[in-house]
Amino acid sequence: MFVRRLGIYLAHVDSGEVVVLTPKGKIIGLIKLPEGGGTFNTNVAFGGPQRQTLYITESSQNIIYRVAMKVRGLKLFGDKE
């Protein structure tokens, strides 16, 4: 799970999806893994130079997906600008 100011990105295990929720829990989006790319996604994290890349781990096939995002993840403790 990864929390942003405007939303929560949650790896929906065994669904092949990342669910995007408002802070109040309303579903506002879904990010689907590619067909045939496994369904056992276990974690998400923002990274990259501007924290605009979402990394999604998929455990059954040992894949890390990288998705370019329009939104920026929050700065984590210890991150440098």
In the chain, where the domains are located: 2-68
Confidence at residue 54, expressed as pLDDT on a 0 to 100 scale: 95
Tell me which residues of the chain have a pLDDT lower than 70.
Answer: 1-5, 79-81
Q: pTM (2 decimals)? A: 0.84
- CB contact at 8 A, 28 and 44: no
- CB contact at 8 A, 4 and 71: yes
CA atoms within 13 A on the CB side of 45: 9
